[in-house]
Amino acid sequence: MAQIIDTTLLIIGGGPGGYVAAIRAGQLGIPTVLVEGQALGGTCLNIGCIPSKALIHVAEQFHQASGFAGQSALGIKVDAPRLEIGQSVAWKDGIVDRLTTGVAALLKKHGVKVIHGWAQIVDGKHVDVDGQRIRCEHLLLATGSSSVELPMLPFGGPIISSTEALAPSTLPKHLVVVGGGYIGLELGIAYRKLGAQVSVVEARERILPTYDSELTAPVAEALKKLGIALHLGHSVEGFEHGCLLAGDGKGGQLRLEADRVLVAVGRRPRSQGFNLQCLDLKMNGAAIAIDERCQTSMRNVWAIGDVAGEPMLAHRAMAQGEMVAEIIAGKARRFEPAAIAAVCFTDPEVVVAGKTPEQASQQGLDCIVAQFPFAANGRAMSLESKSGFVRVVARRDNHLIVGWQAVGVAVSELSTAFAQSLEMGARLEDVAGTIHAHPTLGEAVQEAALRALGHALHI
């Protein structure tokens, strides 16, 4: 064994959780080593959040241009557009490259030693990377998650995961998406807008099954308008002779001819492949169990992000990573956010922050629920988008806001206002009494609060 590298903090995984923890630790003067086997930025930057939003943007632009080739209400006329998917992918790769290079530069600036290689845990204080041993005081596990594979649809050939879907060299004629959750629908809608025929097969009875049906209704409507075929209540049985087979649970079988099948049935914590089992940590299903400080069942062994289970969101991982670095530096911190907003980048977009009306009533809270439709919002009209609404959930006794939900064009950007009002303990009066700029989509936030108080102005 070569010489031993000594460090205070050793982080396994350079995704949003791991790299943010490393940057913050560097800022706080903690000697830090970060081990990453693939590219810095993890799933999020390389094969997830960022490239998917880039592809969605390309799809939206192409879809709009195609609309201008027909009857456009805006009076814009063009010839039918052509798509060079290779150039689109190159543009997306350019964004990814810029961001990953930026992460590397930030780590270097803050004195973090980055080792490219696959870590193997020896014990809670020692990790081997390609024949090099690293000794640490604190071990932070930030290994992320991977796409769930279905046994009857192993990846390979026409069967792809989101990774391959984000880097197509050609467009399929017919893409079948297995899974009607946010990943499957985000990519399914993008491929439809790029010109492919798209069908979605979902085992449950509705799309986006983790959201309430009132919130997802405008998305279901949009899918119909786009011509995406939905096969709900169907379980996949296999793929043979170019056909995806699915059963409806009543003896009926669906056969869909497809030249590409995207399996998007969720993600699982990545807890295999780096000898985690030698630590004998307490688990929470497939995830590593953690407390409110992101400490595992072993002292000075920490876990953040997707490997620590739901919600599997990059912004949760980043917040946890920053916190763990501060705890190691001796600060008193706990991970107890009032809300972590979840955004679905479908068309229309969906945002959920805090408690839904259903969750509030399950927890025995007597709540006022009010919503304001974008159909009555001037900015939404000027963006040719009148579907959707903003909904607020607040306690009846003291008007404390406990949840926000929205569905509509660009509502992802309202998630900031939602999270902020929840984190600051805002009441309905606080939001209703704040002058919102006109004309903006954010006015629907103020109007929802006004409506909860019984005096909406524009409806």
DSSP SS3 for 145: strand
> Strand 401-408 and strand 301-303: pairing?
unpaired
Amino acid type, 154: P
Of 442, 407, 415, the residue nearest 340 (C-alpha): 415
Choosing from 57, 63, 241, 438, the catalytic residue is 438
- Which single residue is written with the structure tokens 């880097």? 167
Amino acid type, 80: A
State in Å, rounded, how far the first CA of the chain is from the last one.
73
**Cα 306 to Cα 309: distance, rounded to the nearest angstrom:** 5
Cβ atoms of 20 and 318 closer than 8 Å:
yes
Distances, alpha carbon 266 to alpha carbons 141, 150, 411, in Å: 21, 10, 23
268 C-beta neighbours (distance < 10 Å), count: 18
CA 409 to the chain's CA centroid: 17
The answer to whether 241 is a known catalytic residue is no
**Contacts of residue 8, Cβ cutoff 8 Å, sequence gap at least 6:** 30, 31, 32, 136, 137, 138, 328
Distances, alpha carbon 408 to alpha carbons 315, 344, 373, 411, in Å: 22, 11, 9, 6
Q: 340 in the Ramachandran plot: left (φ > 0), alpha (ψ -120 to 50) or beta? A: beta
**Cα 309 to Cα 185: distance, rounded to the nearest angstrom:** 22
CA 112 to the chain's CA centroid: 27
**Cα 67 to Cα 284: distance, rounded to the nearest angstrom:** 49
> The tokens of 407 are what?
């569905």
DSSP SS3 for 264: coil
Integer-rounded Cα Rg, in Å, for the chain is 24
Residues catalogued as catalytic: 438
